[in-house]
Amino acid sequence: MTSLSPSERYALSRDQRRRPRLAEFASHQKFDLDPFQRAACGALDEGRSVLVAAPTGAGKTVVAEFAVYLAMQEPGEKVFYTTPIKALSNQKYQEFVEAWGADDVGLLTGDTNINPTGRIVVMTTEVLRNMLYAESPLLDRLAYVVMDEVHYLADRFRGAVWEEVIIHLPEAVRLVSLSATVSNAEEFGDWLQAVRGDTDVIVSEARPVPLEQHVLVRGKLIDLFDSSGQAATHRVNPELRQLAGSRSLGTRSQRGRRGSDRGRYHRGGGNAPGTGRIDRPEVVELLHGKHLLPAIFFVFSRAGCDQAVRQVLRSGIRLTEASERDEIRAVVESRVRTLRDDDLAVLGYWEWVEGLQRGVAAHHAGMLPAFKEVVEELFQRKLLKVVFATETLALGVNMPARSVVLEKLEKFNGEARVPITPGEYTQLTGRAGRRGIDVEGHSVIQWVDGLDPEAVASLASRRSYPMDSSFKPTYNMAVNLIDQFGRERTRQVLELSFAQFQADRAVVDLARTLRKQEESMAGYEEAMRCHLGDFGEYAALRRRIGELERESSKGNPTHAQRERMQRELAAQRKALRAHPCHGCAEREQHARWAERWWRLKRDHDQLSRQIRGRTGQVAKRFDRVTDVLLELGYVETDRHGETVSTAAGRTLKRIYGERDLLVAECLRRGTWDGLDAPSLAAMAAAIVYEPRRDDRGVEFRFPRGPFRAAFEATTDAWAALDDLERDHRLPGSQVPSPALANAMHAWARGASLGKVLEDTDLAAGDFVRLAKQVVDLLDQVSIVADSGVGTAARDAIDGVRRGVVVDVIAS
């Protein structure tokens, strides 16, 4: 605070008096609150929602912690903290237990259920979405929801869940949205304002720890930007220009394979100095010598990460002291004590531990979750010095380093090698610099022949990436919304989506106005309620009489027209006098409310027509999805003309996933009747597994017994659905793959991990992830299926959830 000017100190003092809760919270923080943190916390303190967009490591979670603090100041209030990945959920759970105690904190991640009635509950976003659809009693007294990594909304597979939650949360719940520095934060904030009401958008691009950016050439670290006073303008260091050659640096190379812009950061020719690269052990030694460890090396392949660790270990590098090695062994033994020795041998446990004790490890999705958690814990405790990781580490998990090393600026995206984006670069380098420990963070780009410093400088200086909606109505979503709101109201709900907002921002504003009008109309209806009869009907008679009187006084009607109007007027007046409400003592008071209702109804109908004329692809897709459900009998039209769910639809409501309708169809047809537990586990694996390109045309072994016939019937059901979807102009889906059915069947029968992995080319982490997806689907089936299949599903869960598949959570 000593660095503040007198006027700033006065403003801070005045703010502290005005916001005592914020002042109390701030007094317990390790660091003074940054301006963006204070602004966001102030908005929450005054009862508004917030969107906070700031760089990785900037301290966004302080805002979430303040929301928790506020909830805990009010008796009985609750806060839900949602994350996109289970590893991040586990980490936040541990942090909150340390801060608030185990009695008040819960964890819900689908396959983990700890203290769900706690006042602070950490969960994956899907769990909260399912709660909202089920109208769970756990939502009672919910005051705040934190949506960490909300830019995940752009994820094409899971992003829709974020929008569903944002739209369906009760309006009184305040939303704390935490995002990376996306380039359209203001647009996203405008949508939140339109859907959720009062929302402050807080954008900060300042890093709490400055980032120094370097290029590593032949063992020498060269600054990427000119340090002679021009760095603020992101002028490339002249030394790098000289190394890159004399040709125009603005010229890009030819486009890469399969049309990708592979040459974005590289140019052909020039006088580049040989390879300019040194081996990984030499890079580690160089960083160690310059006190730039701990470091994260981002390597864009799992095999590359494992290979890098072996390469460094072969060099004989040891980066730890004896006391650190003792501490590492203690952590490892406490975390993996539940795993069997034969499983540990299959997992390469001894080589892994040797690397940990020397301060070196890998981190990628192919690793066993328990192993990844150990790496994260040891890195956070400063016991690991070098981690070779894929880009998945850049998301969420708290592992800041002093340095980040990028070996390449391109990666394989499943089809071709493509350049990393500015957003990815921001996420990756955001790990560099530990607040309170480092004066600055360092990013190191390794030189490759033809590196284009101008393009790299542009990559490093651009504001991050745009967040675009991936929202698409699914069958499960449609039947849940129809059951809750009806078809027409659901279309209005979908018009509130960020996808529709981006397509036509005006529709969201109109839909919000429509919803407010409907709330007002409901209030007017209540105010005009009459104990003697239907006052709406009585008011309609009065309106018609007024219309007829105005018509008869206008123009010069013929004798016949005048006779017709007089007859109708007499009939309407007679009906009015005979109506029960005519004798009500409060008739005129009711009439005033009825007139307000009618005027608002007229505006409402006009607005509805306007929205229908502007509705975009979201509602059209919903209509197509609903037509498929109608044809199959999951929803039907009742005698009032309303679309309602059927018994089959109520089953579909409880099935979540990419193949929700296929699972519901198979249960309805009895396709899986008679399957034993291992065969049902194998079927679940065929449903959830996403086939890879190299699976095409391969003959797979089927489990013995009834599985083959059931799988063929399942593919028949899929083919019928696929034809129906295409008839309704929906994209269809991939045929289920039996590629891993045999492996899951063997595992559910008790086979060892070594045997199962031997029969597949899956890494242990991939198998565990698949097994957990299988357990999740089986759990849904066990709830909605009849007794035979339901019992088999529960037995299958017991068979799959064993050994390495069971989460190991630190005590």
Residue 706, CA distances (Å) to 205, 675, 711, 719, 737 in order? 59, 6, 9, 20, 17
Tokens of 680: 């049902």
Q: What is the pairing mode between strands 105-108 and 120-124?
A: parallel
Whole-angstrom distance, CA of residue 291 vs CA of residue 358 = 17
Using alpha carbons, select from 336, 422, 472 the residue that is nearest to residue 803: 336
Strand order, beta sheet including 441-446: 220-223, 211-217, 441-446, 403-406, 295-298, 386-389, 360-363
Stretches in the chain below the pLDDT threshold 70: 1-18, 110-111, 227-234, 244-277, 393-397, 413-416, 461-465, 505-506, 555, 612-616, 693-699, 807-811
Using alpha carbons, select from 798, 792, 803 the residue that is nearest to residue 683: 792
Instruction: Specify whether the CB–CB gap between 141 and 98 falls below 8 A.
Output: no
Secondary-structure percent of the chain, ordered helix, strand, coil, rounded to 5: 55, 10, 35
Whole-angstrom distance, CA of residue 352 vs CA of residue 309 = 9
Whole-angstrom distance, CA of residue 364 vs CA of residue 392 = 7
Handedness of CA 508, 514, 516, 519 (dihedral sign): negative
Tokens of 370: 């328990």
Tokens of 231: 């760095």
Residue 680 burial by CB count (10 A; 0-12/13-18/19+): exposed, middle or buried?
A: buried
Tokens 């600054």 map to which residue?
A: 223
The phi and psi torsions of 125 (rounded to 5 degrees) equal: -65, -35
Whole-angstrom distance, CA of residue 269 vs CA of residue 256 = 16
The phi and psi torsions of 303 (rounded to 5 degrees) equal: -60, -35
Whole-angstrom distance, CA of residue 262 vs CA of residue 285 = 31
Beta bridge partners of 123: 82, 108
The amino acid at residue 289 is G
Q: How many CA atoms lie within 13 A of 314 on its CB side?
A: 8
Report the predicted TM-score, pTM, of the whole model to 2 decimal places.
0.74
Rg for the chain, CA atoms, rounded: 31
Residue 281 burial by CB count (10 A; 0-12/13-18/19+): exposed, middle or buried?
A: middle
In sequence order, which residues have a C-beta less than 8 Å from that of residue 655 and are 6 or more positions away?
476, 663, 664, 780, 781, 784
Total length of the chain: 811
Query: Residue 74 has what DSSP assignment?
Result: S
Instruction: Supply the pLDDT for residue 807.
Output: 57
Whole-angstrom distance, CA of residue 58 vs CA of residue 64 = 13
Neighbours of 476 (CB within 10 A): 22
> What is the 3-state secondary structure of 655-695?
CCCCCHHHHHHHHHHCCCCCCCHHHHHHHHHHHHCCCCHHH
Instruction: Supply the pLDDT for residue 16.
Output: 60
Residue 372 burial by CB count (10 A; 0-12/13-18/19+): exposed, middle or buried?
A: buried
Q: What is the pairing mode between strands 295-298 and 220-223?
A: unpaired
Instruction: Specify whether the CB–CB gap between 681 and 710 falls below 8 A.
Output: no
Instruction: Specify whether the CB–CB gap between 283 and 220 falls below 8 A.
Output: no
Whole-angstrom distance, CA of residue 532 vs CA of residue 535 = 8
Instruction: Supply the pLDDT for residue 466.
Output: 76
Tokens of 485: 């709101």
